[in-house]
Structure 1
């Protein structure tokens, strides 16, 4: 839907629009959060020692294979489809390009599993059949995410919310059923992925009924593929300098501190993942589409970024501060009583996450304007900074070194971001 530019919005209007969009996605965010919390609880209670770490490692593995579509193709699809009508030629071109690039990303996933099964799947102790089923589940989940991006670009927030609720319910239900039947943790995790992937079926029905999936040409637009490909380059940087770094960090901690000890760090990291998911969902549905639509309007874009930055800073400080106050009650509730011992890791994690949220709010501008080189450079520098901080802090502080490195990393990147985007803010 084209954005009207006839009447500039005041700061209060911008804040009201952002808050309305945030509340509008609240049901989806609540469903995803509730599902994640239930999943954590199931694996902490019934997964045995290291069950929570295996869950996080599996979700990180999923992220390695879905980052290119989700943080690349689908981000570009939302940007380019948002102002277009579904029956236009340009709409069909972007849609076809998205399908081609998603197929390419899935092919790369298959090659990675074929060439490096030990490095990727070794912790799960599974065979080739498990890997093939994993690839099937990843394909279904990628297809669902693509259709979800199409719905989001068209402003079909209600349909998107409904699908998100279904996705969460299917995933949790599959894990509960599998563990109840006595399946191993790797088997239960595979059931979780496949159940979530089945959400693609109702997603396709909703998108077709809304007329958002018109017939496509056999030959996709080369221009559209090239332009969407720029977003893929951004996603490659996220894959290499974020998801892969997280994957490697967990393996380092497992080797140094054992699965059971790593569970303490993982509990704090999973708590962080849950509210970070809330933040990402809100910003992805209420902030990024609007920012992308205003990419050519500096005044309104500046007002939007500045207002959202203030709202995020205040809301995140309040929410994270409350989590800190409730830590002695919250960790045993979300996991098991033994996880109360992880409380000493929480303060630096919360501080780092506050800085991370503000940093991401700023960096969304690079994504919305498709500034590929700068985005990749920031991701690479941030990953290198984390690696250096971990090498310095882990030997000295042990397990506490991981959240300390996280806090220092995003504190420094936030300081750089406020300086770099100063003209966009003031």
Structure 2
């Protein structure tokens, strides 16, 4: 319970920081600034996806049984640091190579170094959480939000264009690495650690998680970045801000759902993996409860959509209200479908899991290409909703078909 509270507090701090950042950018960044922020954050997500959801998940799987400062602990932490640096470096090189005139060498280098610091503090934060240093983990979450906002505020005060304002955002976040380093030293996590060539065994062990993350993050992040670039190019700044406001709102309440599922549902589901029948009963009960709870919560958001958009962003973005209905319908299906999707992760089968993620990305891309040119911005949220409803139907059909087969023949293991 204490671990869940620590994670919840950190996510709450990030959500508050995100809301403040959106508000500042909308009020002082000018028309189109919210869409520019969304695209920049999607780029940060692309570069940081594999270190954050691949390397860190892997290292937090291997660190808990080990004593901080022990030789094997240093091996795993060192391999994670080396792999994080490699992945961020490759990502920054790709940004510079493919970004064109928007990404000259100087800007690319600053972005790459800042992202290296951001992912480094995130790795140390994960190690602090594993070691039970929840106060330090929450402090880092508060610090990275405050420093990112400070970087944005400084650039705006200096009258810099939005491109430099956004670069100030990631540079500001990078300064949180210093706090992470101090906290890790005080916790004894870096005791006896020296930079060096990583263990091949540890690197191979972490690469399995990187492969899983490639399916869950890279596909979605890449589509998100390309979509934002397309909208910025083909629509007016004011119009793109409307869709971005809806997307940002979805991301913020999505963090709340994520922490509930991640701290309550997922651990219990994983613990029940050796008991398929009990696991199915648990999924059924949670699915029913979540379906009703989501319907009530998202329905309330729909009722107050106009004043909420005005409060969180700006009065002019209340015009995004018509786009919110399909987004809410899609989010209901997305959150509910994640219950069934997580079963593939619990079963430790990266092949089927990656196949599902790749297929989902192809489906989403096809829907976007078919609907956006015809419908404009409403086509984006329509494609989003249709995509997740089709996935939910597929997940439910697969899951209950497996359950029916298991009931007919006890020799068939639904895993």
- Give yes or no for TM over 0.5: yes
Q: Which residue of 2 aligns with 1:272?
A: 250
User: Does 2:120 correspond to 1:164?
Assistant: no
Q: Does 1:44 align with 2:2?
A: no
C-alpha contact 1:21 1:286 (8 A) present in aligned 2:
no
Deviation at 1:346, TM superposition (A): 0.1
Structure 1 residue aligned with 2:234: 256
User: What is aligned with 2:166?
Assistant: 189
CA contact 1:144–1:200 (8 Å) conserved in 2: yes
Contact kept? 1:317, 1:354, Cα under 8 Å = yes
| Bigger shift: residues 101-110 or 364-373 | 364-373
Which blocks of at least 5 consecutive residues in structure 1 are unaligned? 1-16
Q: Is 1:378 aligned to residue 353 of structure 2?
A: no
1-structure distance, mates of 2:270, 2:73: 16
Cα contact 1:152–1:285 (8 A) shared by 2: no
Distance in 2 between the 1:83 and 1:198 partners?
Answer: 31
Residues 50 and 218, structure 2, Cα contact 8 Å, conserved in 1:
no
What is the aligned counterpart of 1:56 among 35, 38, 43?
38
Q: Identify the range of structure 1 (320-329 vs 251-260) with the bigger mean alpha-carbon deviation.
A: 251-260
Name the structure 2 match of 1:86.
68
Out of 201, 205, 214, the residue aligned to residue 223 of structure 1 is 201
CA distance in 1: counterparts of 2:23 and 2:303, whole angstroms: 21
Give the 5 Å matches for 1:227-306.
Answer: 227-284=205-262
d(CA) in 2 for partners of 1:291, 1:82? 19
Of 370, 378, 399, the residue aligned with 2:377 is: 399
Q: Aligned to 1:106, which of 76, 88, 106?
A: 88
Note if contact 1:356-1:410 (Cα within 8 Å) is conserved in structure 2: yes
Structure 2 CA distance, aligned partners of 1:419 and 1:100?
Answer: 42
Aligned to 2:130: 153
* Deviation (angstroms), 1:278: 3.2
**Retained in 2: the 8 A contact 1:352–1:411?**
yes
Q: 1:393–1:321: structure 2 CA closer, same or farther, 3 Å change rule? A: same
Question: In the superposition, relative to structure 1, how do residues 200 and 301 fare at CA in structure 2: closer, same or farther (>3 Å)?
Answer: farther
What's the secondary structure of 1:211's corresponding residue?
coil
Alpha-carbon distance, 1:186 to partner: 1.5
- How many pairs are equivalent? 403
Structure 1 residues 179 and 295, CA, compared in 2 at 3 Å: closer, same or farther? farther
Give the Cα separation in 2 of the matches to 1:337 and 1:89: 57
Q: What's the CA shift for 1:290? A: 6.4
Structure 2 CA distance for partners of 1:63 and 1:216, relative to 1, 3 Å: same
- Residue 416 (structure 1) aligned with residue 398 (structure 2): no
Q: 2:109 maps to what in 1?
A: 132
CA root-mean-square deviation = 2.7
The 3-state SS of whatever aligns with 1:353 is helix
Q: How far apart are 1:291 and its partner, in Å?
A: 5.7
d(CA) in 1 for partners of 2:271 and 2:86?
27
Segment of structure 1 superposing worse, 82-91 or 257-266: 82-91
243-252 or 172-181, larger mean C-alpha shift: 172-181
Deviation track 1:102-150 (CA, whole Å, cap 9, x = no partner) reads: 12202212321332231xxx5xx45322221111110000101111121
Q: After TM superposition, give the deviation of residue 264 of structure 1 in Å.
A: 1.0
1:52 Cα shift?
A: 0.5
> What's the CA shift for 1:282?
4.8
